[in-house]
Chains A and B, each alone.
Chain A
Amino acid sequence: MSSLSRRAFIGLGGAAAVGTGLSWRRLSGLDIPGRNSDALSVCINGTAQDAAANQGLIDAFHKVHPDIPARITPVQGEDQSDFFAKVLTLVAAGTAPDVVMVATEGTQLFADRLAYPLDEFVMRDKADMQEYFDDVHPSLVESFMYKGNLYELPMDYNAANMFMSSKAMTMAGLDYPDIHWTWDDFHGYLKAMKKAATGSFRPFFWTNRLFGGIVPWLYTNDTSFIKPQRFTGGRWFWNQFYPKETQRSGGFRWTEPNAEDPKVIEAFEFMQELIAENLASSPVQGGGNELVSRFSEGVIGMTPAGGYWVEGLIEAGMKRTDYDAAYFPKGRTQQHQFGSTGYTIMKSSDKKDEAWEWIKFCSTLDGMRIVRRKPDSTAARRSWNTQLYKNAGPRHWDIFYNTVDKFPTSAPIPAPPQEAAVESALIKNVTSAVTGSRKHVTVALKNLQRDLEQAFGEE
């Protein structure tokens, strides 16, 4: 066996020490962006490219507040619960962000555990904030209230509307539906599309998720899989900024599973019937990336989506006239579903005032112009949304914002603090409910009720 000389051994040891020294910043985590930095840390659910795209916002903010350095930390989450878990990991690692962009799915989760209410800041700057609230629909703000406190300012939102292929409509000889078209009308549209179609074509394609899945059908049937209730409180806010909104609450309250409600069963049976008649797809898992390309190819007649879809369709090569969007058809009611995003301040932040300045800046028209340059989500400010969609959206682009005006009972995605478990329970049981025979519906909804009770019972 050849032995290693002392000199060679010392040389190797030295090389190892040099290597360790050179990579020390990596090994010790010193090179993690934002660590040991005094900048305001803003966490977004997105990629490094998304963070880079927001550099303009940082620059603009810095012009207004040269004394507040800020940096954007992108965290890639597959969904809101994944994003939340990763933000928690940042907190546990001692690198908690100061501000986090949170969607409706995570609002109550953050409000319940990690977020700091905006009440004092909003009231302190009420003169500045009034102009913002005058431009934003109160339903969006109410969706960000929890137990009477306000946790976020809406930046953008999307209602679940019905997108329709112009090609499929024309082939079937269908006109744009009436505002108050019904489930029966919708059923008729699907039959006509199927009859006129050639080749591989699905009149209605939908996904199995919290937004745009089964929930819009439940809402338009005046029900939900969790009993919709409201928190009391919040009058401090409504009296100040929306004095005419006397019926507004302290936020949405979801605590009672409601999966076996006859109206829930009815909505599920309607979808089961559409699938049994081969008019609707089985609800597919996951996001809408593939869906955009399928829709742009003209092999899908209708699908639920919101204003966020417009940019995707433009990128897929669709012209404004190739598709249109309508309100969701009416069941017992025409209550729509929506989801919003906004910024929240972390309870753990020692820069709460600076964090508020960031949120306030992003809520201004200038801030929103920088943040939302493309029609890839309905802007929370009505005025900016008009600029965003009027030359880019389909013929009825105005429904994206008008949904909450026309149907003021429209409500956010049901997302209690146990949102992850609730969403898992829903997704798990939807496919079983609608892809089998009629009798499967009640069995699956019984399981959903059980799973929801377990989800709420765990807390």
Chain B
Amino acid sequence: MATTTAQTVIATVPATPPAARSLKEANRRKQGRMAGWFLAPTVIGVGLFTVVPMIASIVLAFFSWDIISTPKFVGLDNFATIATSSTIRVSFLNTFGFVIVAVILQIVVALGLAVLVQTKMPGWLRGFFRSAFFFPLILSAASVSLIMSYLFNEDFGTINKILALIGLGPVKWLSTAAGAMVVTIIVYVWQNFGFTFLLFIGGLSSIPADVYEASSIDGASGWNQFSRITLPLVSPTMLVASVMAIISALQIFDQPYVLTRGGPGDSTRTAVMVIYQSAFTELHFGLAAAIGLVLMLVIMLATWAQFKLSTKFVFYM
């Protein structure tokens, strides 16, 4: 019988002496307790300031609340409002449109510049450009947007003054739907491509030089090297960069808020802007929480889709 055989086998294995086993066990328990103590502040902090508010805002999504009155349970009313409100719908569509254009632009610009800096720059200049491209990221988005609003001012802005010198303009940068979105994208990409650029610098540095040398010997041109070697080998970095860029772009707020307040009309209104306005301007905190929940699901879905697709496009050495 199988059971009998197993018992026989177990019986033949030399057992650890009970005293040593209990000492090991006690040690493990002690280490576990110690780890617990060290982890406690972080666990409490994350629980108190991340998990609890997250759960609270999920619950709040099913209530109507204006801070001072008693919250009123409204079931799915807030989600019905999301489905029927043209402003909320447009703000999500704007956000998606923005994400597509801005993220593609951000990755193309960052990768292009990273390749140029890594391959065409003398060593002594590389450090300077790495810092220069990263620098906008350390500035506050609000102050950058404020400065940009002066630059793109239709009447007195530097951009229109430069265009006037070459006989163009004035361009209504911030008072037309298309112009406002273009400026928003430019400002966002200018400020954020530096981080993606650094990721690509890291990715490019990890590609062995002999791969390029071998391909050169085989007569591969620059473009062939880029498309057949650089792109596949940098694809894991591309995945990380695009996941981070999409998550960040889906949460865009500062730039359109400072530049246009979401206008003209709803043309640059974004999902986070609608969350902010619903909560802190119109005091519909329940609705704001519901929009936040929808946005969170969108971000999760986008991230999941990227990882799912990555199996087809990402090449690991």
Contacts and interface: CB of A to CB of B under 8 A. Distances in A.
A82 B161 CA distance: 35
Interface string B256-290: 00011111111000000000010111111000000
Interface residues of B, number: 34
Contacts of B283: 85, 88, 420
A431 B277 CA distance: 19
A89 interface: yes
B34 interface: yes
A405 to B, nearest CB: 35
A81 B66 CA distance: 13
Interface string B151-188: 00111100001000000000010111100000000000
A285 B172 contact: no
A427 B261 CA distance: 9
B265 A432 contact: yes
A427 B263 contact: yes
Contacts of A9: 34, 37
A282 B260 CA distance: 12
A293 B88 CA distance: 37
Contact of A282 (B68, B175, B177, B259): B175
B51 interface: no
Contacts of B68: 88, 91-92, 113-114
Contacts of B264: 428, 431-432, 435
A88 B67 contact: yes
Interface in B20-59: 34, 37, 41
A82 B105 CA distance: 34
A4 interface: yes
B150 interface: yes
Given A200-B155, A282-B175, A428 B67 contact: no
B56 to A, nearest CB: 14
Contact of B156 (A82, A200, A421): A200
B67 A89 contact: yes
Interface residues of A, number: 39
Interface string A77-92: 0000110010011011
Given A9-B34, A420-B282, A91 B154 contact: no
A88 B283 CA distance: 9
A432 B180 CA distance: 12
Interface-central residue, B34, B260, B279, B282, by most chain A CB under 10 Å? B282
A353 B134 CA distance: 58
Contact of A85 (B176, B259, B263, B280): B280
A429 B264 CA distance: 7
Contacts of B279: 85
B263 A428 contact: yes
Interface centre among A114, A202, A286 (most CB of B within 10 A): A286
Contacts of B87: 451
B93 to A, nearest CB: 16
Contact of A82 (B149, B155, B266, B280): B280
Nearest to A348: B68
A40 interface: no
Given A200-B161, A290-B150, A299 B156 contact: yes
Among the interface residues A113, A429, A431, which one has the most CB atoms of the partner chain B within 10 A?
A431
A140 interface: no
A75 to B, nearest CB: 13
Interface string A410-453: 00000000001100100111011001000000001001000100
B281 A424 contact: yes
A375 B254 CA distance: 34
Q: Which 3 A-B pairs have the closest CB atoms?
A: A282-B175, A431-B264, A432-B265
Interface of A: 4, 9, 13, 16, 81-82, 85, 88-89, 91-92, 113-114, 200, 202, 205, 208, 281-286, 290, 294, 299, 420-421, 424, 427-429, 431-432, 435, 444, 447, 451, 458
Given A282-B154, A285-B149, A444-B265, 13 more contacts: A81-B280, A82-B281, A85-B281, A91-B67, A113-B68, A281-B155, A282-B172, A285-B260, A286-B261, A294-B156, A424-B281, A428-B262, A431-B175
Interface of B: 34, 37, 41, 66-68, 87, 149-150, 153-156, 161, 172, 174-177, 259-266, 277, 279-284
29 contacts: A9-B34, A13-B37, A16-B41, A89-B67, A113-B68, A114-B68, A200-B155, A281-B155, A282-B175, A283-B175, A285-B263, A299-B155, A420-B281, A420-B283, A424-B281, A424-B282, A427-B263, A428-B262, A428-B263, A428-B265, A428-B266, A429-B265, A431-B175, A431-B264, A432-B177, A432-B263, A432-B265, A447-B265, A458-B284
